[in-house]
Structure formats: C-alpha cells, structure tokens
Structure 1
Amino acid sequence: MKCLFASNANQHRLRGVTSGPMTVRPSGRRATDTTRSRPFRRDEMLQRLRAGTFDVLVIGGGITGAGVALDAAVRGLRVALVERDDFASGTSSRSSKLVHGGLRYLQNGDVRLVYEALHERQRLLRNAPHLVDVLPFMIPVLTRDGVISKKVAKTLGSAMWMYDLTGGWRIGKRHRKLSADTAFSHLPTMHRDRVAGGFLYYDASADDARLTLTIARTAAARGAVVANRCRVVDLTEDGRDGRVDGAVVDTGDGEIVVRASVVVNATGVWADEVRSMEHADASPSIRPAKGVHVTVPWERVRNDIAVVIPVPKHKRSLFLVPAGPRGDGTFRHAYVGTTDTDHAGSLDEPQCDAADLEYVLSALNHTIADRPAADTGTGHASTAGTSTDQTVPRPPITPDDVTGVWAGLRPLVAASSSGRTADLSRNHQVTVSDRGVVTVAGGKLTTYRKMAEDTVDEVLRQLGRSPRRLRRLLTRHLGRSTTRRVRLLGATSDRGDVGTREGHLRHRYGTEADELLAMIAVDPTLGDPLVPGQPHMRAEAVFAVQHEMATTLVDVLERRTRVHHFDRAAAEAAAHDVAELLADHLGWDADEIQRQVSAYQALCERERTAAVTVPIGDAQPAGSTSDEVVTT
C-alpha cells in the first residue's frame, strides 16, 4: 500500500464529514423517480474522477458495488465507483437471473433471510417494473425419482404456506396445488405416467447484467462518478494515521490517484485481492462456489413456466427456466441450472467443464421423456414433438444441442469449518479493517439493496456520523437509506407486448425506449436484427456505446444483449457485422475491428474447449455438494 502523504496532503484530502462540512445536494421526496439520465460517457467520467475528491470510493462494478454507489449518492455523499473490467462482468451477469426469496433457505430455518429477500423482491418489482417480471414456478410431484414424492407432498405444502406468510403473498398470488394434468401441461415433455401433481408458487426474474447496469446508471444520474475499465492497482494511506484514504487507479491511459475519506471493497469473489493490498498476509475470507447454467432450444423442453427438476441419484434439484419470450406464449430458449461446487481455478473466467455439462444434461434428460406423450384425453395433448405417436422416440439432449453456457462464482463468506458450499450462508457481511476499509461480502442478487444500505450505514459511522443522528440533525437523505423508494432509470409498468418492436424495447429500457425508437425513425436500418434469429436490434448496440459505456464487442454481445449466453453460434457468426457497426461509433479501424472479433472468437473457443475437458481430480459429479430436497 502506497503512502502518498505530502506537505500539501490536507489539500488532497476531502472536506468531508471527518474534517469539515459535507457537501449536501438538496433532495426531496419527488426525487425518488429517476426518469432522466446524466451523460454516461467514460471520457467525461474519467475527467471528473481525476478532478474530484470524494466521501466514498467504491471498488467494484457488480450489483453490490452499483447498489452501494446509488445508496450513497441518494444520501448526498460524493461518490466514485471504479470497475476494473465492465459492469457486471463477473458474478452479476452469470447468476440464475432470479429475484426470489429462496424456498430452500426456509427449509434450512433461515427465516430472516427469506423474509428479507421477499421484501427486497417486492421493492425491485416496484422500483424496476420494466426489468423485473413475476415468474411462476412449478415443483412437480412425481411417483418416483422426483424432487417431491407423493409421500412428502404434504410437508412441502406446509413449507409453501410458510413461504407465503413470510412474504411470498406480497407478489399478489399465493401458492396452489396442481392436478397431474395441469402440472403436465406446464412441461409437456415430462414422463406423463410419473406425474402425480405439482405445486405452483411465484417469484420473479430479471436480466442480471441489465439490472446491474441500470443501477449504476441511476447512481450516475444521482451524481455519482462511475467508470468501467479502471483497475485499482494499490491503495493509498494517510501518512499521519495509516488509514486508507484512496487508491491508485489504472485507467488504461495511465495511473491516477483517487482520494476518498472511505474506501469500500465491493469486489465479490475478488475481495481478498483488495484486502491483500492492505495486508499481504491477509487470510482468505471468501470461498468461491461455481454455478453453471446451460441453454438449450426451447422446442426441446417446451415449458411455459419455470420448473424445478430433480437430479438423478442426488437429493438435489435444478431450475428449468424459459427465456426469450416471443409474445405468443412460446419462447426461444430455456436454461438449466445451477450447480454448486467449490472453485479453485481462475476467478476471472470460470468455465463450464465436461463434468458440469454432463451433470446438468443428465438431470434434464432424466426429466424429459424419451418418447412424446399422446393426448391424455384431458385437453392437454402434448406439444413436445411433431407427432404424438408413442413409437417415435425423442432423442436425448446432448452437448451438440447446447446453444450457450455460463459459469459464475458466488462470493460466499468462508466458514471456520470446511463443508459443502451449499451449506454456507447466503447472508451478507460488512466488516471494517484496521485501516478503515469497509468490505461487503456474501449476499445474493435479490438482496443487493439491503447489502448496500448496511454498507453505507457503516460508511457513515466511519465518517463519524450516525445514520440516525444525521437523520435528525441534517437532512432526511443523509440519514437512513431511502433507496427502498428510489425507482431505477427508465422505470415504467407500461411495457406493451414483448413480441412487438416497441414492446421488446420497453421490456429492456423502459421509458428510455423512446430514445431507441427515435434513433430507428431517423435510420430505419437500426431496427434490423443485430443477430439474425434474435430479437435485439442494431439500435441497441449503438445505444450501448452512446449511453451505456460499452467499449468492446464482448460488452455488447455478452452483457448489453445476452445473445452470447443464449445463442453463441449465432453471435459468433454475426460478430464481424456487429463490430463494424460499433466501429462507426467507437472510431475503430480495420485492424481494431479484427482484434475485437478475434477476442470474441477466442472467448467462444475457450468455452467450447472447457466443455469437453474433464477436470483433473474431479472425484464426484459437478453440483453434488448439495443435497437439499428443493434448491431455490
């Protein structure tokens, strides 16, 4: 850690609450709606980063760091956030994309976590209605080899009531039991003779990367300085007391020093790397757990809602989630996951290996019948195949059918004793080092806002102010967090039909869809597909560069759109065309276009290679560290 204290250091340190009056931006109740964004250009952000001094510097541009930046900005603090790669480039773009309470946590007795998550789910549905959708889930009751057997169905019914009472009812619908015919109609490719019924309950889903980006942009709209591709290479210290007072940041064009009264480490699985900048011998605090998801063509499964499917020979389950709605009740894709295993490899690019793929596909093939079901006479004729002839087999789903994969790392707080990653708590933890760095670790996507609230409360304590006292003595916004009422950028419930051009854009951009529609009106070619067969338009790539700080081809194909995760082959085939479109707005020449395409092709090749590689020393199937009856 560097000491950059000099004779004029007092001029570099903030006039923050630790040494003087804090700058307070007036903010009233009407400010809870963020409908217009400030410029979100990287060059402008870097200029402000170089020139400014801050109350808090947030390291990490995942959903936790973005949430901390938003909470602090709303309270009136001067905030900077730096992300070493792209926003949501780590765990926050590689989750199950669910906004949920977690039924299994209730089974484990963690009522407080479920209560908190269900309340946060409702706040997200209210504050980001353009990004978060109610998602029905079905747990089939099967006669054999199922997640739930007829014998334990009564017990699950009690758990469902508890889930509703804990807060699940707030979504507007309670759980209910399903008949065998109704359960089968939701996944008509199941073994019909094994279906005895089911349970239906409700949670929510969201595009995790877009949610993270929108939170970061909302923080910027509230005055935060937010920049990607800014790597923290060292921490700086106050030469008088040894407390950390900033960071040395590599912006790609050189190093700058960013000064802040408090530094927040919100880097997820990389938290220990930042901690080692303070103390080289810092003991590990994070235990990364890998979760893998696999995408297949929806026509192979034909589920119209999310389904909890069993894993053969393991008391465990996976989610089968439809994705890419066409607007007519059908979908483009379905994804299956997640595994839960220790990860000892690279934190930067975890991969789905052959064991992971076999584990997920075996579970899927265990659930999907090898022959299409005939009409049951109940009006629920199978739509799973082109024929209902029982003599026509349905081939198993193989790696050749997989259209995309992603692997993410959960930043679980390490326990004092070893054990399964699935047993580690999903609660978050906020700690303060002896040099004043605030670290937030653990948690889950759904509870990001509460994690941020607790973190900024600790920041205020480090600044010498109690949240309660500030609420009384200064202003409402410098006291307790008010983000539970802050609607994210573009928030609207008026989204229309997702199957139309306008509906597609409003489901992704909310009120900002008007800007994309205006772009298309000026240049109709921007309404053409970005990638053939996918709903994304060329205007979305241009908007990503102009308004969302996308700077690479990977940014656009993997995170601003999700084409890479759902149809990698189509994205790779269109990579050069997309790069040429971006070049017009990023100033790339022919050599840079080729570099961008080659970098994306290399990413695709690494994923393909990993999927046929058996990990050395893999003694058990991927995902077998958990034996919950229901994993949600």
Structure 2
Amino acid sequence: MFSSSLDTEQRDEALACLAKDQFDVLVIGGGVTGVGAALDAASRGLKVALVEASDIASGTSSRSSKLIHGGLRYLEQYDFKLVREALHERELMVSSLAPHLVKPLAFFYPLHEKFRERTYVGAGLALYDALRGFKRALPGHKHISQKKIAEIAPSLRPDIVTGAIKYFDAQVDDARHTMMIARTAARHGAVIATGVKVESLVKDGKRVTGVKARDVETGKLITIKATATVMCAGIWSDQLHESFGIKPGYHVTMSKGVHIVLPKSAIKSTEGIILKTEKSVLFLIPWANQWLVGTTDTPYTEDRSRPLADRSDVEYIINEANKVLKPKLKINEVIGVYAGLRPLVSNNKDSETTKLSREHTVDRSAPGFVSIAGGKYTTYRVMGKDVIDLAGVELRRIVADSVTNKVPIVGADGYFALVQQVDRIAEESGLSPESVRHLLNRYGSLISEVLELIKHDSKLAKPVTKDLPYLKAEIYYAASHEGARSIDDVLSRRTRLAFEAPNSAMDLVDDVAAIIAPVLGWTAKQKKDSINAYFDIAEREIESLEEALASA
C-alpha cells in the first residue's frame, strides 16, 4: 500500500500532505529517536508525519561509536535497568529487526593482573550476559590466556597485558540504520519530509494544535495540523523549547564525543578492544578496513551545528590507547576525525556529563505537546514507544499498543536466505562475491533495487574509488530511493566516505555530483551550490583535523 522509497516525487507529495491533512501525531526531528517514534506511531495505525530541518541522521545519530551495546560501564554505576533494556534491544536487532544492518562484534577486555582482576571482570561480564535474558543471539564471554592473546591481538603489550576476556556486542552504521528506520516508517504510512524547519507552534488557547514550518528549499511557509506534536530534537531541545515559549521539566546538557579513524594496519588484532580509562572507557573498533578509536566525554557549550575535534580530544584518545599498544599509534596515521554531541538530560547545569544518566525523559510541557530527550542509540525503539504512549493520551481515544518489537526494518525480510545465495547473485549480476556481501550488509533484501540500477546501466557497477567498496550504483540509489538531497547527504551519511576516504572525500565530489544531479533534477547552479556547500564543510573538518594533529 505504501512505498518505502524517499525521493523527489515522494517529498513533493509529502509537502502537499503536510499542508492539507490533519495528523494524529507530528514528529519534529529526524534523528534515531524521531524516526523511531514515527515508526512506532505509524505501526499503531496512527496518521503520522515527520519533519526534519536538515537531513535524516544529520546530527548525533550519524556521529556515534557505531555500536549497539548494553553499556558495560553502566554496570559499575549499578544502572541494571538501562543495561538490561539495552541488551534486550541489542538481541532483537541482531536476530530479527535489523540483522542486515546490526552485526555481532567481539571485544577483548585486556587484563593486567592474573587473578583478582580476572575474577572481578569475569563476574561483571557474567552479569552482563545474564541480564540479556534467555533469548540470546550472541555468544557469552570467554576467558583468553596471555599466550593466546599474544597470538590474536599482538598489538596488546605483553609486558602489561596478562590475558583478556572476550565478549560480544554489536556494530551498526548509525546513519544508514536511522535512514532505514525512516524508510520503514514511510512503508507503514508515515509522511516524511526533510528540509522542513519548524519555526513556531500553532495554538488554540493553551493547547498546541500543530506548527508553522518552512520548506528550506523554496522558502514556503506551511501550517501543519496535528492533535499531538512530539519533539525529538536531541541537542536542539533547549533551543527549540525556548523559541516555542515552552518551559520543559528538564534541560539538555551536551557532551562531546570524538573518534579518530586509523588504517587497519595501525592495530594488529582480530577483534575490537575495550579499555577502561580514568574518565570512562575507550573503544578500539574494527570498521571494514579501518579502525575507529574513541570516544571522549567532555562538556560542550559551543556551536551545536558542527562540533569539531580539538587537540585535547586527539591527545586523550592517542595517549589512552598507547598505554596498552605496541607499537604505539602515530599521529601521522590518522585518516580522519569526527565529533558528535550526546544529549544528556540534566536538572543541574553544573553537572559533569560523565555522571549524567543515559536514560531518557519523556515530558508533557503543554497540552498537545510532548518531548523526549536523553537515552542512548541502542534504546531508540523503547524511547519511540514511550513518547508515543504519552502522546497517545492527547488523542482521547484508545490507541493500540506498540508493536515495533515485531516490525523488521526494511531489508530484513529474506536477508538470511539471500546470504546463502551470494555466489549465485554474483554470477547473475556480474559483481564479485565481495561486492554482493557489501550490498547485502547495507541494503538487505533491497539489494534487488540496487541491482536493477546496474542492470540498466552497467557503468554503475564500478566502484566510486578503488580503495573502498562503494559502487556508483549506491550513489545513484542514495538520491533515487534514500532521500539524499545534497552531496553532503551522500558522502557524510548515505555512505561514510566523508571520514573513510582521504581528504574528506573532496576528490570524489565531482563524480558524485555528476551521478546525483540528473536524479534530483538539478540545474547547473544547484549542482555548483551543492559542490561548494560540501567543500565548505569538508574544509572546516580538514582544517580542524590538521590543527589537532599538528599540535598533538
């Protein structure tokens, strides 16, 4: 009945619907919490719309550690409820909701003492395993000897590492996962429009009855009518509350998390590594043919729109990692750096962000207006459920219970069967088995749509760049099916070329523009404007990286 495709025609139709229809629920914000809420509402049979000022996952939801995890360090804070909840969500995603996007990932927890620490950490990981319940998609923890760890993780210093404990969490491309949730919401009837900025609330007395929003591409002002308005604005929550003239029961404190990107050769280990630091934990995460190393957790009060890494961030990551690595990481090995902001709920502006809870808060600060903040990426589905439960009260009728624990993300259906057919698909498509696996782990059963593009234009089967697995068909598909409206959308979120490729992918901009311009119907000026806009973004990132590395 509904299509999951997000394209130019779909956006035009969405804008028309926003202007004329009455919605049960309007969601403000296209991060993972917002799209999760939209999917929750749509799958309950509610008439729902979602608007996002920029792009899906353009903020925090594209700049995480790329992990779906229970939060091992929260056990030390005795936050068992959060850990149990997150582990349950992890198991659901790996096994049924998004197996094409969320993959098991093993970590080594290095030990520095032979007996006492092994007992203590082993007990903690046993509890970690137990909290996930009886449905277990991932293996339990396993003790590794010093001799074995020297073989499988030779980069760990043998003079201080006496062994390790291996345990499992999961990995995800956060921006892709968020976008696929948005597509799933559209598949179930949600009206989704990016590039639509909410400017004010519409009220009937004290009750919020909708919003006035502006199409940032045309400048047109739209009045959107909704019985319940749900704000999922993350780090923008305080700013929007203030502009709307609403006083919430919480405020959001921002914490900056920075990751550096390294080549695969920089760290010799078959699995990821987690290190406990004085402030928090540090993850050394395999990412295709690279490593992501992070993160920091520092208070942030500067520009929300483009957080950048600085010298102290890079120094902290390198120094903490080098405490256990041999040979040590070198500054000149760093390929890229990205920074994201966590929205942490706080009632005290002087609180240190490392002590704030990652649990979320749902708030009804005005009749017809509900908001949510806090939480962690892994628990997005629970957050969506909770905020729609509260918003449902505004509808003054019986609202069906949430069913998102049973609603697979688009592409999940048939994925496991397709994995068994890689060689046949490769033979029929002319692609290599490696390319087919790459596509399956990004699109799942929607691989057929990408292959159809290649069937009609064999040039799209070629890689965008020789050192990374992305095909030109994926660039085309980003604009034709995934809602990408700019070069930045394609390079920063639909692919991760912005931090995976050298020079922030600036060398690929012209090729990407040539592929998506006809799909989006750009004029020569629009094409040039998108190229220049990406160059501005990339140059700021490169300048920040050069300054951080030169000083570190």
When normalised by structure 2's length, the TM-score is 0.92
Cα distance, 1:150–1:358 mapped onto 2, change above 3 Å:
farther
Corresponding position of 2:425: none
The two structures, once aligned, show a CA RMSD in angstroms of: 2.2
Query: What does residue range 134-173 of structure 1 map to in structure 2 within 5 Å?
Result: 134-142=104-112, 151-167=116-132, 170-173=136-139
Matched, 1:104 2:73: yes
Shift of 1:90: 0.3
Matched, 1:479 2:400: yes
Tell me how far apart the structure 2 counterparts of residues 598 and 407 of structure 1 sit (CA, whole Å). Answer: 22
Matched, 1:244 2:178: no
Mapped contact 2:36–2:384 kept (Cα < 8 A): yes
Tell me how far apart the structure 1 counterparts of residues 6 and 513 of structure 2 sit (CA, whole Å). Answer: 23
Matched, 1:461 2:393: yes
Cα distance, 1:63–1:184 mapped onto 2, change above 3 Å:
same
Corresponding position of 2:154: 188
Corresponding position of 2:428: none
Shift of 1:532: 3.0
Shift of 1:66: 0.2
Corresponding position of 1:303: 269
Shift of 1:573: 1.1
Mapped contact 1:405–1:566 kept (Cα < 8 A): no
More helix as a share of residues? 2
Mapped contact 1:429–1:442 kept (Cα < 8 A): yes
Matched, 1:594 2:528: yes
Residue among 194, 209, 212 paired with 1:228: 194
Mapped contact 2:227–2:368 kept (Cα < 8 A): no
Corresponding position of 2:515: 581
Query: What does residue range 398-547 of structure 1 map to in structure 2 within 5 Å?
Result: 398-416=330-348, 418-465=350-397, 470=398, 478-491=399-412, 492-494=415-417, 496=419, 500-547=434-481
Q: Secondary structure at the match of 2:470?
A: coil
Residues 307-356 of structure 1: CA deviation (Å, up to 9, x unaligned): 01355xx36430000111xxxxxxx1001011001001011111111111
Query: What does residue range 27-46 of structure 1 map to in structure 2 within 5 Å?
Result: 37=4, 40=7, 41-46=10-15
Corresponding position of 1:14: none
Mapped contact 2:31–2:56 kept (Cα < 8 A): yes
Corresponding position of 1:5: none
Residues 127-163 of structure 1: CA deviation (Å, up to 9, x unaligned): 11110101111101135xxxxx754221111111111
Shift of 1:399: 3.5
Shift of 1:464: 2.1
Corresponding position of 1:214: 180
Q: Unmatched 5+ residue regions in structure 2? A: 423-431
Mapped contact 2:209–2:227 kept (Cα < 8 A): yes
Residues 544-599 of structure 1: CA deviation (Å, up to 9, x unaligned): 11111101000000100011122242611111111111112223344433322222
Corresponding position of 1:335: 292
Corresponding position of 1:347: 304
Q: How many residues are paired up?
A: 531
Q: Secondary structure at the match of 2:513?
A: helix
Residue among 74, 92, 99 paired with 1:129: 99
Corresponding position of 2:54: 85
Residues 500-548 of structure 1: CA deviation (Å, up to 9, x unaligned): 2211111100111011112112211101112331101110111111111
Residues 444-491 of structure 1: CA deviation (Å, up to 9, x unaligned): 1110001111111101112224xxxx3xxxxxxx42101100011111
Mapped contact 2:73–2:281 kept (Cα < 8 A): no
Tell me how far apart the structure 2 counterparts of residues 452 and 317 of structure 1 sit (CA, whole Å). Answer: 27
Q: Secondary structure at the match of 1:140?
A: strand
Query: What does residue range 42-57 of structure 1 map to in structure 2 within 5 Å?
Result: 42-57=11-26
* Partner AA of 1:356 in structure 2: D
Q: Which stretch of the first structure deviates more once superposed, 151-160 or 84-93?
A: 151-160
Corresponding position of 2:429: none
Residue among 198, 206, 211 paired with 2:164: 198
Tell me how far apart the structure 1 counterparts of residues 504 and 368 of structure 2 sit (CA, whole Å). Answer: 48
Q: Secondary structure at the match of 1:595?
A: helix
Q: Which stretch of the first structure deviates more once superposed, 128-137 or 278-287?
A: 278-287
Query: What does residue range 597-608 of structure 1 map to in structure 2 within 5 Å?
Result: 597-608=531-542
Shift of 1:265: 0.7
Corresponding position of 1:624: none
When normalised by structure 1's length, the TM-score is 0.80
Cα distance, 1:591–1:91 mapped onto 2, change above 3 Å:
same
Query: What does residue range 561-572 of structure 1 map to in structure 2 within 5 Å?
Result: 561-569=495-503, 571-572=505-506
Shift of 1:93: 0.4
Tell me how far apart the structure 2 counterparts of residues 463 and 128 of structure 1 sit (CA, whole Å). Answer: 31
The share of aligned pairs that are identical, in percent, is 39
Tell me how far apart the structure 1 counterparts of residues 77 and 254 of structure 2 sit (CA, whole Å). Answer: 21
Q: Secondary structure at the match of 1:433?
A: strand
Tell me how far apart the structure 1 counterparts of residues 367 and 547 of structure 2 sit (CA, whole Å). Answer: 43
Mapped contact 2:254–2:342 kept (Cα < 8 A): yes
Q: Secondary structure at the match of 2:162?
A: strand
Tell me how far apart the structure 2 counterparts of residues 419 and 243 of structure 1 sit (CA, whole Å). Answer: 33
Mapped contact 1:495–1:507 kept (Cα < 8 A): no
Corresponding position of 2:33: 64
Tell me how far apart the structure 2 counterparts of residues 85 and 427 of structure 1 sit (CA, whole Å). Answer: 26
Mapped contact 1:339–1:356 kept (Cα < 8 A): yes
Corresponding position of 2:284: 320
Query: What does residue range 271-286 of structure 1 map to in structure 2 within 5 Å?
Result: 271-279=237-245, 285-286=251-252
Mapped contact 1:189–1:302 kept (Cα < 8 A): yes
Mapped contact 1:141–1:150 kept (Cα < 8 A): no
Q: Secondary structure at the match of 1:195?
A: coil
Residue among 334, 358, 380 paired with 2:315: 358
Cα distance, 1:425–1:594 mapped onto 2, change above 3 Å:
same
Shift of 1:42: 1.6
Mapped contact 1:568–1:604 kept (Cα < 8 A): no
Residues 261-312 of structure 1: CA deviation (Å, up to 9, x unaligned): 010010111111221133277687000111011100011113221101355x
The structure whose Rg is larger is: 1
Cα distance, 1:562–1:579 mapped onto 2, change above 3 Å:
same
Q: Secondary structure at the match of 2:12?
A: helix
* Partner AA of 1:543 in structure 2: Y
Mapped contact 1:65–1:266 kept (Cα < 8 A): yes
Runs of 4 or more, structure 1, over 4 Å off, are 280-284
Residues 26-53 of structure 1: CA deviation (Å, up to 9, x unaligned): xxxxxxxx9x635653222212222211
Shift of 1:435: 3.7
Cα distance, 1:185–1:601 mapped onto 2, change above 3 Å:
farther
Shift of 1:367: 2.6
